[in-house]
Amino acid sequence: MDIRGRRKSSNIEDRRGMRPVRTGVGLSIGGVLFLVVLSLLGINPLPFLGVATKTPEVQMQESAQPYQESPQEAKLREMTAVVLADTEETWNALLPQYGVAYQEPTLVLFSGAVQSACGTAESAMGPFYCPLDQKVYIDMSFYDDLSQRFGAPGDFAQAYVIAHEVGHHVQNLVGTAEKVQAAQQRMPKAQANELSVRMELQADCYAGVWAHHAARSRQLLEAGDVEEGLGAASAIGDDRIQRETQGRVVPDAFTHGSSEQRVRWFRRGLETGNPADCDTFAAKQL
Ligand SMILES: [Zn+2]
């Protein structure tokens, strides 16, 4: 990709260098004493409950120094901001055709671990989207994993990962995510897994839709980029990941689809640029 002179998204929240810290649950002893003293003094303690209680939340603790990024990390951050901006252009233009206004998601950069509305996550779990706070979370060290562990190097492989997570945001906005979750609750596990696969393949297809428009409308792609994207789709298929991590393939535990399926759906979005062609739920053959 040639990102020089491109718009960078301002929807980036930099939480690198912060750590989630569990702050405990319920009233502290000091808090209880404080409330007792207030009521003894004839003061209604209720308005002070919030002061004395500790919420069962995990809070982010800022480190003493601001995060010092390497020149390499600065480049990755810029690339991430340009790709996010380009997904905004794409979906701002496409979604109104489906009667939905696009709400731009926030992308959170973190290091090590992060607290989202969906819970605390470690970097090892990989990038993810949390529908509850509508944020995409990514520890950019995943880009190293992508190139070294999964053999999918290149900036467009990284862009594909961002566009896939943004694809989940689109599913959330159009209501697909909610429908799938409701259906999954009434299903045996194997069937629920298959629906998850269809969700994931649709997000891959949406990543392809983005790539189509980034290439056609804004000439963001360079020679070799499509191959990098396809390489990433293939590299992070469940069968490849399972073989890497467990040494065997268990199709029932697939939640993202096989390498071949991921490539096929990314390619479909890429070729047509039309989200309507991403109906993985209606497809007989994935
Ligand atoms: Zn996904």
pLDDT of amino acid 171: 95
- 286, 198 contact by CB (below 8 A): yes
pLDDT of amino acid 258: 85
CA 280 to CA 163: how far, in whole Å? Answer: 17
Encoded tokens for 55: 């919420």
DSSP annotation of 129: E
Residue 82 alpha carbon to ligand 1 centre in Å: 21
- 158, 165 contact by CB (below 8 A): no
CA 130 to CA 145: how far, in whole Å? Answer: 22
Residue 200 alpha carbon to ligand 1 centre in Å: 5
Residue 56 alpha carbon to ligand 1 centre in Å: 29
DSSP string for 51-95: HHEE-S-EEEEPPSS-----HHHHHHHHHHHHHHHHHHHHHHHHG
Residue 199 alpha carbon to ligand 1 centre in Å: 8
| Closest by Cα among 199, 172, 6 to 89 | 6
pLDDT of amino acid 20: 72
pLDDT of amino acid 55: 43
- 141, 181 contact by CB (below 8 A): no
Residue 165 alpha carbon to ligand 1 centre in Å: 6
pLDDT of amino acid 247: 59
Q: Which residues of the chain have pLDDT under 50?
A: 26, 51-56
Residue 186 alpha carbon to ligand 1 centre in Å: 22
| Closest by Cα among 182, 181, 247, 233 to 204 | 233
Instruction: State phi, psi for 14 to the nearest 5 degrees.
Output: -95, 105
pLDDT of amino acid 94: 97
Residue 54 alpha carbon to ligand 1 centre in Å: 34
- 172, 202 contact by CB (below 8 A): no
pLDDT of amino acid 123: 83
Residue 239 alpha carbon to ligand 1 centre in Å: 15
pLDDT of amino acid 35: 54
Given the structure tokens 């340009």, which residue do they identify?
82
Instruction: State phi, psi for 272 to the nearest 5 degrees.
Output: -95, -30
Residue 142 alpha carbon to ligand 1 centre in Å: 14
- 120, 20 contact by CB (below 8 A): yes
